[in-house]
Amino acid sequence: MFGVAMTVLWWVRGRPDHLESAHADHGFDVLGPDLESRGDATAILAGGEPYTAEVLDELPNLKVLARIGIGYDAVDVDAATEREIMVTNTPDGPTTSTAEHTIALMMAVAHELTASANRLRSATGNYVSHQNSMELNGRTLGLLGFGRIGQAVATMAEAIGMTVLITDPAFENSVSIDELLEHSDVLSIHAPATPSTVGLIDADALHAMKPGSILINCARGPIVVTTDLVAALESGHLMGAGLDVTDPEPLDLDHPLLHMDNVIVTPHIASNTTAGRARMERMAFEQVALALAGETPTQLLNPAVLTNGS
């Protein structure tokens, strides 16, 4: 499509040490990550930073934007297509790390690890009488979304004796959202942020959840209405929450979610294990190499770009 392979790659949030051999194999020159050089980039390995039409207009040489991770809601894909820019992602890269992080949050909240550790630090005493944790064996895990990560979470949850329910229109054994909320002891979100999911977990949905249940979100912050979640936690309706994503993100340091013993908030790093990050960067680089060699990337998100302008 582009005639010759390009030789410039601009890094964003990446760690080039993971890909030194790949750079040598493909002969790319590596620039960045610095904003002053990005106008020269023919390819970008992108984190979660926004790529609006205005930003893309500042990248006149860009041919491929390779998202390190699954979600690409920060990328204006239509604007990229109009500018003949390929957009790719790495849907298989973060699966294991994010699924493990989900289980870690679920266990930490269910076993009141933050509250228990804080009581010990404060030497409050009477530790057993203060503990009211949830044993997960025999409980029901509800999965909102059943893609790669949701399926991995289901496998791990079943291994510790949980029953799994799913809500995902792509699967025949999917239950309704109402049924999912009613029966889940833990609700874990693994859906993309779309017009149909943004704000889906609002006051009504949270009220429909079982009293004493747990909410986990390792997907996208805007799916949950933050003020409604705070209210459900403060009222005691929910036992707790584990969040790797929030809305807004990051939260202000004085936000109530950061000061509740029954809530754990991590800074959108669920996929960021050493192995997971290296895997995603390698996969993103492979997409770049295909695109700049004139081949079709295997994870192309905007196939219309292949015929755009032809």
In the prediction, which pLDDT does 184 show? Answer: 98
Q: What is the mean pLDDT of residues 86-103?
A: 96
Tell how far CA 239 is from the center of its chain.
23
Do 188 and 240 share a domain, yes or no?
A: yes
Q: Over 60: is that where the pLDDT of 151 sits?
A: yes
Q: Over 90: is that where the pLDDT of 191 sits?
A: yes
CATH number at residue 205: 3.40.50.720
Alpha carbon distance 252, 219 (integer Å): 20
Residue 279 lies in a domain: yes
Complete DSSP assignment for the chain: --SS---EEEESS--GGGGHHHHHHHT-EEE-S-GGGGGG-SEEEE-S--B-HHHHHT-TT--EEEESSS--TTB-HHHHHHTT-EEE--TTTTHHHHHHHHHHHHHHHHTTHHHHHHHHHTT---HHHH------TT-EEEEE--SHHHHHHHHHHHHTT-EEEEE-TTSTTPPPHHHHHHH-SEEEE-----TTTTT-BSHHHHHHSPTTEEEEE-S-GGGB-HHHHHHHHHTTSEEEEEES--SSSSPPTT-GGGG-TTEEE--S-TT-SHHHHHHHHHHHHHHHHHHHTTSPPTTBS-GGGGTTT-
Counting Cα atoms < 13 Å in the Cβ hemisphere of 197 gives 18
Do 25 and 135 share a domain, yes or no?
A: no
Do 165 and 17 share a domain, yes or no?
A: no
Q: What is the tens place of the pLDDT at every residue in 40-91?
A: 788 998 888 899 999 999 999 999 999 999 989 899 999 999 999 999 999 9
Do 105 and 253 share a domain, yes or no?
A: yes
Work out the mean pLDDT of the chain and round it to a whole number: 90
Do 128 and 251 share a domain, yes or no?
A: yes
For 266, the token pair is: 């991590």
Do 204 and 245 share a domain, yes or no?
A: yes
Q: Over 90: is that where the pLDDT of 24 sits?
A: no
In the prediction, which pLDDT does 14 show? Answer: 47
Residue 1 lies in a domain: no
- pTM for the full model? 0.85
116: phi then psi, degrees, rounded to nearest 5? -65, -45
In the prediction, which pLDDT does 88 show? Answer: 97
Residue 110 lies in a domain: yes
Place of tokens 């860009």: 62
Do 85 and 113 share a domain, yes or no?
A: no
Do 102 and 88 share a domain, yes or no?
A: no
Range of 152's domain?
Answer: 95-265
Do 244 and 144 share a domain, yes or no?
A: yes
Do 100 and 180 share a domain, yes or no?
A: yes
Catalytic-role residue among 38, 101, 190, 220: 220
Least confident of 20-24, 110-114, 179-183, 187-191: 20-24
Q: What is the mean pLDDT of residues 111-130?
A: 92
Residue 138 lies in a domain: yes
For 108, the token pair is: 């930490």
198: which residues sit within 8 A by CB, 6+ positions away?
A: 220, 222, 223
Catalytic-role residue among 23, 183, 249, 282: 249
Residue 297 lies in a domain: yes
Residue 3 lies in a domain: no
Do 112 and 231 share a domain, yes or no?
A: yes
The number of folded domains in the chain is 2
Q: What is the tens place of the pLDDT at every residue in 195-235?
A: 999 999 999 999 999 999 999 999 999 999 999 999 999 99
Least confident of 3-17, 124-138, 251-265: 3-17
Do 158 and 217 share a domain, yes or no?
A: yes
Residue 167 lies in a domain: yes
Per the annotation, the verdict on 268 as an active-site residue is yes
Question: Per-residue confidence at 38, pLDDT binned at 50, 70, 90?
Answer: confident
Per the annotation, the verdict on 18 as an active-site residue is no
Per the annotation, the verdict on 277 as an active-site residue is no
Residue 126 lies in a domain: yes
Q: What is the tens place of the pLDDT at every residue in 234-287?
A: 999 999 999 999 999 999 999 999 999 999 999 999 999 999 988 998 899 899
